[in-house]
Structure 1
Amino acid sequence: MDWLNAQNLFSVLTIVIADLLLAGDNALVIGLACRGLPPAQKRVAFFWGIAGAVILRIILTSIATVLLMVPFLQAAGGLLLTWIALKLLLPQQEAGEVDAAVSYTGAIKTIILADLLMSLDNVLAVAAAAHGSIALVAFGLALSIPVVIMGSQLVSLVVERFPILVYAGSGVLAWTAGKMLVEDRIMHRLFEHVEHIPVEIIVPAAITLLVLVAGRFLKRRLQKKLQAREEILSG
């Protein structure tokens, strides 16, 4: 059995770790975006979020080798994911049917965009670890699906029970965004010239701190606006 060699076993281990971390991020963003939705809307949002993650993984996996050659693609994904991590910290509107509908459609849009970005990150990591093996790429794709399905529902339940964990979830996504930026093929070459500075840690840490601080500030500001609007409507 030629495939049971040291390189392939190491590739399998790498793919498992990448899927648990990166597909776990997909589950995290689906769970965070769905928090607070009514049960019926939450089920639909879960369905589209999970379906989007699976479909995008299949599409991106089929062109993984091409994606590895696109300059700055992963860095751009990291910047967009930073915005999503910040957006998930902002308060959800809960004042009436119109706001509920806006919150619902906004959750769907956030999930699909985040799925695209993090599926890209996951597929690139798996494709690099697979070293051109279609079987290993397919294994990584199959493994990521149950992680997203089970993880997203678990995250939603936990976050609704302990809302403070939204900050932890957003921080994880922000750190992932920073790693995507640093690990981009072109950006990595640029950072190689920076000596004696652990860029691979400093950049994700800085982005995470920025997102959490900015998110806290914007959340308090928006909460005050929502309270003021509710007082005007009730008065």
Structure 2
Amino acid sequence: MEILFDINWDILKAVLIIIGLDLILGGDNAVVIAMASRNLPKSLQNKAIILGTTFAILFRFLLATIAIYLLTIPYVQLIGGVFLFFIAIQLLLDKGDSHQNISASATMFGAVKTIIIADVVMGFDNVLAISAASNQNLYLIIFGLLVSVPIIIFGSKLILHFMSKYPMIIYFGAALLAYTSAELILKEIKLQPILIHMPLVHWIFPIAVILVTVMIGYLSRNKTAY
């Protein structure tokens, strides 16, 4: 019973983290879709959004599948964890102008191409975060990608509205990314001979990474405000 509870809790925790990451990181990709298709006739906008999102999700699945195997290579989890840490900080430092260079297309093919390219480039953080949070479980990765579809297509405006109205949501998202980055670093196989002698590090390190991330973002935002 205890083993079953541990397994179920691990899966539940991964599912909750994946949903949280999708909610926080999905909004940006939705903005890309809106901007890429804004010059299309109304009759073609929905088609471009559906086609672009479908192909983008397929590319994400391919990248996530590759990420599963990459994360088994020594030091890749350590590097990926550090990368996610910087993404968490960047989420708090973002000025909101990263989408200005996304060009709109007057043709459906052009809009779909822009959506796919921009989503693959910008969605890498989402793919890496989901792959890390899922413990390289392919079914959880598929779940995460499926959850991201309605969020990207339907929930973007709502998410962005609440993120701008309640800045604490952004801090929550950054903390979630920071926690995922810490967990990824702690899973690095090359660090296990050291970490095995430090049982408390699995509690202390994630908290420390979250605090550092939030503090950097808070100080930076306050400095910018003045």
Give the TM-score range, shorter chain: 0.5 to 0.7
1:140 match: 140
Q: What amino acid maps onto 2:209 in structure 1?
A: I
Contact kept, 8 Å, 1:18 with 1:125, in 2: the verdict is no
Equivalent residue for 1:87? Answer: 90
1:170 aligns with 2:174: yes
Give the distance between the partners of 1:210 and 1:13, measured in 2 at CA.
27
SS of the equivalent of 1:125 reads coil
The 1:49/1:72 distance shift into structure 2, 3 A limit, reads: farther
Superposed CA deviations along residues 1-26 of structure 1, whole A, max 9, x for unmatched, are: xxxxxx99x97885565244235414
Matched, 1:101 2:97: no
Please tell me whether the aligned partners of residues 26 and 148 of structure 1 are also in contact (alpha carbons under 8 angstroms): yes
Structure 1 residue 90 displacement after superposition: 1.8
Deviation at 1:181, TM superposition (A): 1.1
Question: Residue in 1 aligned with 2:150?
Answer: 150
| 1:57–1:192 distance in 2 versus 1, CA, 3 Å | farther
For structure 2, list consecutive stretches of 5 or more residues without a partner in the other structure: 39-48, 104-113
Cα deviations by residue, 1:92-128 (Å, 9 ceiling, x for unpaired): 256xxxx8615999x96873231242143145431xx
How far the C-alpha of 1:80 sits from its partner, in A, is 0.7
Contact 2:87 2:125 survives alignment (8 Å)? yes
Question: TM-score, normalised to structure 1's length?
Answer: 0.63
Cα distance, 1:89 vs. partner? Answer: 0.9
Give the CA RMSD over aligned residues. Answer: 4.0
Contact kept in structure 2, 1:15 and 1:125, CA below 8 Å: no
Identity of aligned residues (%): 19
Check whether the contact 2:88–2:213 (CA below 8 A) recurs between aligned residues.
yes
Tell me the distance in 2 between the aligned counterparts of 1:63 and 1:70. 10
Correspondent of 1:67 among 49, 70, 90: 70
Are the aligned partners of 2:88 and 2:177 in contact in 1 as well (CA < 8 Å)?
A: yes
Distance 1:72 1:40, change over 3 A: same
Deviations 1:190-225 (CA, angstroms, capped at 9, x unpaired): 211225xx111211111111111111122233344x
Aligned length: 196
Asked if structure 2 preserves the Cα contact closer than 8 Å seen for 1:90 and 1:222, the reply is: no
CA gap 1:25/1:90 in 2 versus in 1, 3 angstroms: same
Contact 1:86–1:211 (CA under 8 A) maintained in structure 2: yes
2:132 is aligned with what amino acid?
Answer: D
For the Cα contact (< 8 Å) 1:26–1:118, is it kept in 2? Answer: no
Counterparts of 1:25 and 1:61 in 2: how far apart (Å)? 18
Using the size of structure 2 for normalisation, the TM-score is: 0.65
